[in-house]
Amino acid sequence: MALRTSTTERQRRLGAELRKLREQAGLSVTEGGDSIGMGRAHLGHVEAGRTAIPSDKLRMLCRAYRCTRAPLVEALVAMGEDKGKGWWTQYRHVVGQTALDLAELEAAADALLSYESLFIPGVLQTPEYTRSIFRSSQDERSAEDLEGAVRFRGERQQILIRERPSALHAVIHEAALHVRFGGAAVMRKQLLHLIRMAEPPHITIQVLPFTAEGLSAFSTPFLMVESHGSALETVLVETPATSLYVHESDAVAKYRSRFARLAAAALPPIDPAVSASAHESRDSLSLIQHLLYILQED
């Protein structure tokens, strides 16, 4: 049994879900392994994401754990059968494992809920905006690696325009619209891109204004991803030091509630199809148009 020297988030998640089901069934690792003719150590490696588990064994394990949620079982089987050989693998020498894990997670997404406080969400960025962010960071990159990282982020955006696109609901703090990565011209192009991206019905973009009250506790950006027919949910919380993946149902529910509060406090969504006369009251589009006017003057 060859063990993986490094694991992806998908592999760790599959193992964590199996461990959770076993613990909910009140079985030890030994008892879980015995139920499918697998040794304690072998099952331990599966739960740690260090080795794979055949689909028939996985289904047997779910039955032994009395898991009757068919969508969850099928989601776990799909995760186990996934070889992780998507488009992102060609960038493994350009970006880190965290970025690769995010791309793989997004590729399986049915829907994404995104809150950003200082940046435009990655899947909504223009190449010029992305490039200016990388240039302003403390990470040293060669010109070749920089352009590779920009292309990688652009590839991630394909989930919004593929044949069966992921739904996206993004709440962006007004502060992110004022931070001028790349200068006025780059920001103007980025804001216009936001308006265009809001045109399809599966994309919702809202701006959380500075005037929103009582939301100081919600300053940390996060991304919630629903996948595998919404049988699995993951929350990604990124900090300067690390990226945290949250799977626990109680914690995920808190983030979902948090996002609902943010969306409720935000301005009405960007709707380019609405006539100009309908924007007499403040909404996300009118705010962006105001910022575009200011940028044009600079």
User: What distance lies between CA 88 and its chain's CA centroid?
Assistant: 15
CA distances from 277 to 187, 254, 286 (A): 25, 38, 11
What is the band of 279 on the pLDDT scale with cuts at 50, 70, 90? very low
Please answer whether residues 255 and 246 qualify as being in contact, where contact means their C-beta atoms are separated by less than 8 angstroms.
yes
> How do residues 24-62 score in pLDDT, each as one tens digit?
999 999 999 999 999 999 999 999 999 999 999 999 999
Residue 293, pLDDT score: 77
Residue 297, pLDDT score: 64
Decide if pLDDT at 272 tops 90.
no
**Last residue in a domain, options 81, 115, 130:** 81
Q: Taking residues 259-274, report their average pLDDT.
A: 88
Domain span at residue 36? 9-81
Residue 276, both tokens? 């100009």
Distance CA 161, CA 197 (A): 10
- Paired residues of 168 in beta bridges: 112, 203
> How do residues 227-249 score in pLDDT, each as one tens digit?
998 889 999 998 777 789 999 99
Answer yes or no: do 211 and 110 share one domain: yes
Q: Taking residues 91-110, report their average pLDDT.
A: 94
Q: Rounded to the nearest 5°, which phi and psi values hold at 38?
A: -120, 135
Decide if pLDDT at 206 tops 90.
yes
Answer yes or no: do 111 and 259 share one domain: yes
Q: In the chain, which ranges are continuous DSSP H helix?
A: 9-24, 29-34, 40-47, 55-64, 70-81, 97-107, 127-136, 143-156, 174-178, 184-197, 249-265, 284-297
Answer yes or no: do 146 and 47 share one domain: no
- Decide if 191 is inside a domain: yes
Please answer whether residues 181 and 187 qualify as being in contact, where contact means their C-beta atoms are separated by less than 8 angstroms.
yes
Decide if pLDDT at 275 tops 60.
no
Task: Enumerate residues 6+ apart whose C-beta is below 8 A from 173.
Answer: 115, 116, 117, 118, 207, 208
Task: Enumerate residues 6+ apart whose C-beta is below 8 A from 168.
Answer: 111, 112, 114, 123, 124, 160, 202, 203, 204
> How do residues 148-170 score in pLDDT, each as one tens digit?
999 999 999 999 999 999 999 99
Residue 1, pLDDT score: 61
Residue 68, both tokens? 């009757």
Decide if pLDDT at 277 tops 90.
no
Decide if pLDDT at 251 tops 50.
yes
Answer yes or no: do 188 and 273 share one domain: yes
**Last residue in a domain, options 32, 66, 81:** 81
> How do residues 193-203 score in pLDDT, each as one tens digit?
999 999 999 99
- Paired residues of 249 in beta bridges: none
Decide if pLDDT at 264 tops 90.
yes
Domain count, the chain: 2
Decide if pLDDT at 286 tops 90.
no
Q: Taking residues 111-118, report their average pLDDT.
A: 96
Residue 83, pLDDT score: 87
Q: Minimum mean pLDDT among 33-47, 70-84, 204-218, 278-292: which range?
A: 278-292
- Decide if 1 is inside a domain: no
Residue predicted with more confidence, 100 or 297: 100
Q: Minimum mean pLDDT among 171-175, 250-254, 294-298: which range?
A: 294-298
- Unique residue bearing structure tokens 């099928």: 74
- Decide if 236 is inside a domain: yes
Instruction: Give the 3-state secondary structure of residue 173.
Output: strand
Answer yes or no: do 277 and 231 share one domain: yes
| Residues above pLDDT 90, as percent of the chain | 73
- Paired residues of 226 in beta bridges: 111, 233
Residue 276, pLDDT score: 47
